[in-house]
A and B are shown apart, each in its own frame.
Chain A
């Protein structure tokens, strides 16, 4: 395995504790973070960029940004996972916007990079992917389209408005409603029905 003995020592720590260690320049913490999220980061960068060399750049730069800025990570603003994946995604989007190549391609055609369904596909990642794709499939078409083009395609809201021939306000509201609905759909069901648990007043 690529995971070193030292790295294993951090295996039981929370993602946030790993980042706290990274802030103290413990490079084993960076290795641990990569072992936890490198694969998702790679899949995401590849999906947005559709080019292995660019995806490598995006992942490398995102992890190095994490390494440099770990001391500024604030746990109460969100999880370490979200923080890291945001760095990866933002880097990928910045790179793809400099590339004109993907603009002409229909999104569906490039959904799956070759060899994606390898024999060693990770079962947990696959389950999570199915869960997310299942939730996406439940969104109204226009909301799903807006989220996919923006998040996986790297299109800005103005580009989307132009591409879809819709006012910017419409695009904004599709993105907002789509994300809010997705969040609801993905919220984990209560593990048990506690007797005191009344209906949460979300919305």
Chain B
């Protein structure tokens, strides 16, 4: 990594110490709690699937049967019931869909349970490890055909089959990553719907079936293009861990996943989110899935010039939470965005300063850089130029994952031709400025360096005051994004349980062992 900003090493270190002070107390809370969604994710990892006649997913039926017993861990009851009835998990899923109640069964001996669990844990491990291997092999094989940075586009028609067609075209045009946008309001559903979506709003549901349809499409299109195409969805909202589980088994490659987004922007209860994000990250770490954090969102509601430091602060917090889940930096796609008002004189330099600052502070992370959205307007021609400036900053500052801006951002979800124009623009910039960053340095004490150091200092001040108050209290006081959320408010608190002393979750045990968390065993 080239040092272009003359940043003092101690400042990055100090920010990390403060992030540790902020996250430490939350970590303690997380370790003592589970949630309905963590338990449903664990059931899914065992292989529980399907729905009943009313369309309620089986993992939800089981969790509803357990109620307060959830504190002991749902897998205990599932496998207990399987053993008592001599059924496999598949058979049990069907039985529960037909009305069988797993909470009614007397739980067999722990030794028996553990033996039964081993089967399912091994099965999950094999599946996930195969996915990892396949992905790694294909990426290696096709590395030379990839763009640098990777070009990320979205599909958002609301119909998964139409999305598939759009995705195929995007791959043909040169995209490396395809994200399937989620339909409005899925984040507030406390269940993961079942089956293929054909009528979503601005996107489709994250479901196992949609994941499979898209995975297959991208594998085929990728082979044609001589590339491994990465598939992205959202492990966010009330079902964060469950979607992470589906992603691990269906071979998604990236997941939008933020430690605080749901609390701030979706009014999900903070305790719920903190516990959920941890388990979802354990899964993604083990499955080698890159997370994309949501710092760009801070800038859609606040001014990007004024609030650049909130992005950086959140990145340090997200990083700390990710490390807590055994996630190496190479899986931490920390997010940021090019959202300054285009009318600010020298705005381009400020954007460079921010992007380069993030680059230098997180040298190992596959940074996810988001294009202008807020200041895009009906003037699609100007918008196209703004996207070009964005592409230029992305290349110049060595971002890894670049979400391409659409010239029609202010109007509609992308047309096929909009994506084509975006990819063509990006590839032109990437090739035309391929060595630009090796050729330039920033003037000592010039605009770029000054701005970067200002943002850094404000970040340290901000992290300092959050550390002093505590994270829960800081969110309550509206310190993030000017949004106040009370600790006991928001959605989903009723789904949080204190673990009883005999809490048992074989997947959590396995993940922590494999990732070496909380011990040196």
Same complex for A and B? Answer: no
